[in-house]
Amino acid sequence: MTRRRILSLAILSGSVLVGGFKARGGEFKATYGEIYAQRDDGPLKADVYIPDGDGPFPGVLVVHGGAWRMGSRGQLSGVAQMLAQHGFTAIAISYRLAPAHKFPAQILDCKDAIRWMRTNAARLKIDPERIGGFGYSAGAHLVSLLGTTDEKDGLEGVADPKSVPSTRIQCVACGGAPCDLRPIPRNVDGLSFFLGGSPAQCPEQYRLASPAAFVTPDDPPMFFFHAEDDQLVPLASPTQMRAALVAAGIVSDLYVVPHLGHTAAAMDRDAINRSIAFLAKHLQAEGN
């Protein structure tokens, strides 16, 4: 049985487990099932991967994919472990899923996770001024939205955003990202399960859920990787997003993963290594 399979089984057990691992880039400790927020239908949990050492380390929020309606925080456990090996405290989260929870529930959960990281920065050995996001597919959409939105955009979920820790992040690396939902034809309702209707019925939802709609010159550096043969999310999505970021003066790179489709690219080693290198460069991780 592989380590990844063992870790997945531990996560599915629902208990908080702690373990130490000897990894290529260094040792780290993993803690499973920490509660980062409470909701009416139960707690939201995170798996925490902290490098050995005094820190503080840059933190990275790790957000899984699954079309906003399925998946678990264990999906990207391999990436979270690699981040910890390279000197990041990685926080892999669960978040509320559609259709039971419509947008903006998902981004509100991600923002609460960032606040939790900053509130608990000392315990988690995180430098609160160096926090990034990594995600794939739906998770890439969410970390991209984290990167481009702030308290003026109406997605903070609190009455007074200035009274709580900031949800701004300092770097994004993501793959397979749907970056702009506004061009979807008005009568196409394929995302109704997530957004509550078609673009004709709720155009503001499609705008609010589009990272590209919020690009401004104060956004963080953003790295995208995308499958050359992606039949689910067009390559035009990150291509156009990167162009908008560069036009705004933001550092942004795009790596096209050759010959792969949407699902396979999620764990392409070269793409993951490039993502970690980008995060390390812009968050100034030690030992990279």
Inter-residue long-range contacts of 38-42, CB under 8 Å, 24+ positions, other chains counted: 39/96
Here the CATH number for the domain that contains residue 67 is: 3.40.50.1820
Examine residue 118 and state whether it is found in any structural domain, yes or no. yes
Tally of domains in the chain = 1
The whole-angstrom separation of Cα 196 and Cα 199 is: 9
The chain-wide mean pLDDT, for the chain, equals: 92
- Count of beta carbons in the 10 Å neighbourhood of residue 283: 25
pLDDT per residue over 144-199, tens digit each? 999 999 999 999 999 888 889 999 999 999 999 999 999 999 999 999 999 999 99
Q: Say if residue 47's pLDDT is above 90.
A: yes
Burial class of residue 88 in the structure, from the number of CB atoms within 10 Å of its CB (0-12 exposed, 13-18 middle, 19+ buried): buried
Q: What is the pLDDT of residue 216?
A: 98
Q: What is the pLDDT of residue 19?
A: 40
pLDDT average, residue stretch 251-260: 98
Q: What is the domain extent for residue 239?
A: 3-283
Q: What is the pLDDT of residue 17?
A: 35
Q: Say if residue 70's pLDDT is above 70.
A: yes
CA proximity to 283, closest of 151, 205, 155, 173: 173
Q: What is the pLDDT of residue 285?
A: 66
The residue assigned the tokens 């010959």 is: 259
Contact present, 92 and 74 (Cβ < 8 Å): yes
SS3 string, the chain, reads CCHHHHHHHHHHCCCCCEEEEEECCEEEEEEEEEEEEEECCEEEEEEEEEECCCCCEEEEEEECCCCCCCCCHHHHHHHHHHHHHCCCEEEEECCCCCCCCCCCHHHHHHHHHHHHHHHCHHHHCEEEEEEEEEEECHHHHHHHHHHHCCHHHCCCCCCCHHHCCCCCCCEEEEECCCCCCCCCCCCCCCCHHHHCCCCCCCHHHHHHCCHHHHCCCCCCCEEEEEECCCCCCCCHHHHHHHHHHHHCCCCEEEEEECCCCCCHHHHCHHHHHHHHHHHHHHHCCCCC
Examine residue 109 and state whether it is found in any structural domain, yes or no. yes
| Max Cα–Cα distance, the chain, nearest Å | 54
Examine residue 88 and state whether it is found in any structural domain, yes or no. yes
The whole-angstrom separation of Cα 146 and Cα 222 is: 11
Q: Is the peptide bond before 104 cis (omega within 30 degrees of 0)?
A: yes
pLDDT average, residue stretch 223-252: 98
Examine residue 288 and state whether it is found in any structural domain, yes or no. no
Examine residue 239 and state whether it is found in any structural domain, yes or no. yes
Examine residue 158 and state whether it is found in any structural domain, yes or no. yes
Examine residue 22 and state whether it is found in any structural domain, yes or no. yes
pLDDT average, residue stretch 224-242: 98
Q: What is the pLDDT of residue 284?
A: 86
What percentage of the chain reaches a pLDDT higher than 90? 87
Structure tokens at 9: 């089984």
Top pLDDT among 21 and 113 is at 113
Contact present, 74 and 9 (Cβ < 8 Å): no
Does pTM surpass 0.75? yes
Examine residue 91 and state whether it is found in any structural domain, yes or no. yes
Structure tokens at 81: 């472990």
